[in-house]
Amino acid sequence: MSMDLQANPVNEILYVSFNQDFTCFVCGTESGFRVYSADPFHLTFRRDFEDGSGLGVVCMLFRTNILAFSGGGKNPRFQPNKVVLWDDRHTRVMAELSFKTTVKSVRLRRDLVVVATLNKVWVYGLKTLSLMDSIETTDNPKGLCYLSSGDRIVLICPGRQQGSALVVFYPENYGDPSAPGERERTVIKAAHDSPIAAIALDASCSLIATASEKGTIVRVHELQRDGLAQELRRGLDRAEIHSLTFSPSGEYLAASSDKGTVHIFAIQRPGGGTSAAFGYSAEAGTSNAKSSLQRLSRVLPAYFSSEWSLAQFRVHDYRYIAAFGVDPHTVIIVCANGSYYKARFDPVKGGEMVREEYHQFDDASAGGGAAAKAREPAEPEVAQESSGARGSASES
């Protein structure tokens, strides 16, 4: 999960991404990069290049010394159409990959390197850098691409048709060119009518979440049955979805948008099982709302079948990404303006989350990049997102 800030930076930060298990996040800056522990929060490491050159795309490999870069900013360290594999222990370039167009994003796992450009996703073996696969996509300016990090190798990206999602299952040891095995592709054609804006995969590789550019609906699809499992409603008005993230257990989904609100949804597991929170929110919240408006369900069936979020948290910035903390009922929020929030939600009562921590990690506020515990800002004045059963039935 990542956030590209190059088009409109508010400070030295050009790019932010979490590592594969969300234990760290890394910032590409106008002068180098910084690595932070996500929970507990602290600056782990920073490197400023001598010539003050910038990184527009950064990706960590778990908590190792291996990173992937692409240049960016006012004085790019590397060309923006190149991916550089970097060994920070020895401060050297391990390898380079060149492309005809600008690199939009990079994803790593212990055996693969995946690079997204505007209309294509490229899959390489990490050890040999042999090209293993290439996938054509619709226009993908965000470089949307999700790569599993566990034993199963699953890749998700936009399909060739607008609103579709392509799921690719690779055999074990796919990163080894000598290993036999064929990939298997599944296209979720009816994910959305509008272009896809965010995607996520749960740790068990059984559920995929998608949101479109309209940003009103998040759909959860069950991969084994290739069917819609849940339809989750963020709000009534359009919004830009910045991130979708499943909790490690798959019980919850966090969604962030430019409305300044992080939403936590309870997720129903494949096979009919539910989390404790889902049982409460569905039966006591969503179901009651449906039953009280049953007469209108024939007119607006899609609207009333969607479920509202269990918990919400509001931030000052409109560009941010969210992941779950060490405690399964906490959420880590990293903002473009250099703000860090840790918030807790009640899995039974839901509602407004409680802020537990606030830090500022941008250069201007943190004394040259050292993470600073800043004074907490006042509660943000954000327009309340509609959360009742009313309004337009326009879906995404």
CATH of the domain at 179: 2.130.10.10
What pLDDT sits at residue 22?
A: 95
Residue 183 in domain = yes
Beta partners for residue 212, in sequence order:
196
Same domain for 28 and 164: no
Mean pLDDT calculated for residue range 27-48: 95
Same domain for 120 and 7: no
Same domain for 117 and 17: no
Q: Which helix (H) or strand (E) holds 276?
A: helix 276-280
Residue 289 in domain = yes
The parent domain of residue 86 ranges over 1-99
> Has residue 284 got a pLDDT over 50?
no
- 239-270 tens-digit pLDDT: 889 999 999 999 999 999 999 999 999 998 66
From CA 317, how far away is CA 315, in angstroms rounded?
A: 6
From CA 64, how far away is CA 45, in angstroms rounded?
A: 12
What pLDDT sits at residue 270?
A: 62
Domain count for the chain, please give it. 2
Same domain for 106 and 88: no
Question: Last residue of some domain: 36, 65, 99?
Answer: 99
Residue 395 in domain = no
CA nearest to 84, candidates 96, 102, 98, 99: 96
Same domain for 213 and 288: yes
Residue 375 in domain = no
**pLDDT-based confidence at 271, cuts 50/70/90?**
low
Q: Are 315 and 353 in contact (CB under 8 A)?
A: no
Beta partners for residue 324, in sequence order:
331
Same domain for 130 and 55: no
Question: Last residue of some domain: 99, 134, 160?
Answer: 99
**pLDDT-based confidence at 124, cuts 50/70/90?**
very high
- 329-369 tens-digit pLDDT: 999 999 999 999 999 999 999 999 999 999 998 754 444 44
What pLDDT sits at residue 76?
A: 94
Same domain for 107 and 94: no
Beta partners for residue 167, in sequence order:
156, 186
Distant-in-sequence, close-in-space partners of 187: CB < 8 Å, separation ≥ 6? 159, 164, 165, 166, 167
Phi/psi zone of residue 369: left (φ > 0), alpha (ψ -120 to 50 degrees), beta? left
User: Backbone phi, then psi, for 159, in 5-degree steps?
Assistant: -85, -170
Q: Looking at mean pLDDT, say which of 125-129, 174-178, 291-295 comes out highest.
A: 125-129
